[in-house]
Amino acid sequence: MKRRILPAPALLCMIALGALAPLGAAQAATRWEHAHPRRDQVLDRTQHLNARIRHERREGEITGAQARNLHAQVRSTRLEQRSMAHSNGGYITKAQQAGLNQQENAISRQVGR
């Protein structure tokens, strides 16, 4: 039986795809995200909440005043997270993350009415 030798570009492509295979959606995309997973999770939720608020406003589900109020609440949560991290060497604790998540859950319930 004759062994088939792949051309160099095809071989390189297979190696590259094999190297990317272990990467999943749940893995950190940057070094910062890897080093600060709790902060990253809270900030991802913040971005998602802001996007939901903008969507609800565009769809007419909430008024401009309601959207401004919700954005202010989200901003307050983000600033609180930043302050917590600043006082803790750049990190937040599990308990702090849980508290921030509770705040974001309350905001989320207001958006989804």
Burial readout 77-103 (b: 16 or more C-beta within 10 A, e: otherwise):
bbebbeebbeeeeeebeeebbebbbeb
pTM of the shown model = 0.72
d(CA 29, CA 37): 11
pLDDT one-digit tens code per residue, 41-64: 999 999 999 999 999 999 999 999
d(CA 42, CA 96): 10
Average pLDDT over residues 8-18: 52
| pLDDT at 29 > cutoff 50 | yes
- For the chain, the domains span 33-111
